[in-house]
Amino acid sequence: MSDSPSHHGAAPNAPQSKTDLFISFTFLALQGFGGVLAVVQRELVDKKQWLTTDEFVEDWAVAQILPGPNVVNLALMIGGRSFGIAGALAALSGLLLAPTALVLLLAAAVAGVADTAVAQGMLRGMGAVSAGLIAAVGIKLMGALKNNPMGMLTCIGIGALTFVAIGLLRLPLAWVLLSLGPLASVWAAHCIKQRGAA
């Protein structure tokens, strides 16, 4: 992972102010076609370095398990950590205000156009690209598993199980999170304790 910041220790940078949070998340949101996650990883980890890859994976795990849009949860966490509730609201409004305005303008402007062959083709093309963006983020984040207390091999095993359950068997997400999640967490607790004792 030569293009990512160091995996160990704290992130080199942090948001400067609530305005910084608002503007950064507005900028992120407006780049995020077909989901914002890929842009968040690129901007906040690779470029701004507000988070290390490890921290991003940890935060993403929490954002994923809590109800609500994942990227919204992530914005609340990052904003809240630096500037409390005001920071959380700054990041959240940055993420939502401009895209809401834009999507409503689009809705008013293109009512009817959305069904044309060209528009459908564009959506198909962008959909295929955004599928690749998301998969690439997953591959990039695998580097963070090197520091996982469960060890790389166990992590790959758990990851493979998750992929089969969701990607191939198409089981509901809630089942997978609620069954594999607690098992993996208990095993991780065991590994952390052993490492502490050794």
Partner 1 sequence: MSITMTLADWGSLFLHFISLSLLAVGGAITTAPDIHRYLVDETHWLSDTQFTSSIALAQGAPGPNVMFVALMGWNVGLNAGGGLAAGWPAVALALWGVLITMVGIMIPSCTLTFVATQWAHRNREMLAVKAFKSGMAPIVIALLIATGWLLTGNHENPAHDWPLWVLTGATTLIVWKTKTHLLLLLGFGALLGALGWI
Among positions 126-145, residues that touch partner 1 (CB under 8 A) are 126-142, 144-145
99 binds partner 1 (CB under 8 A): yes
Position 5 contacts partner 1 (CB under 8 A): no
Kindly state whether residue 88 participates in binding partner 1, applying the rule CB under 8 A: yes
Site track for partner 1 across 30-49, x = CB under 8 A: xxxxxxxxxx--x---x---
Rounded to the nearest angstrom, the gap between the alpha carbon of residue 82 and the centroid of all alpha carbons in its chain is 18
**19 or 135: CB nearest partner 1:** 135
Among 9, 17, 193, 194, binds partner 1 (CB under 8 A): 193
Nearer to partner 1, 38 or 44 (CB): 38
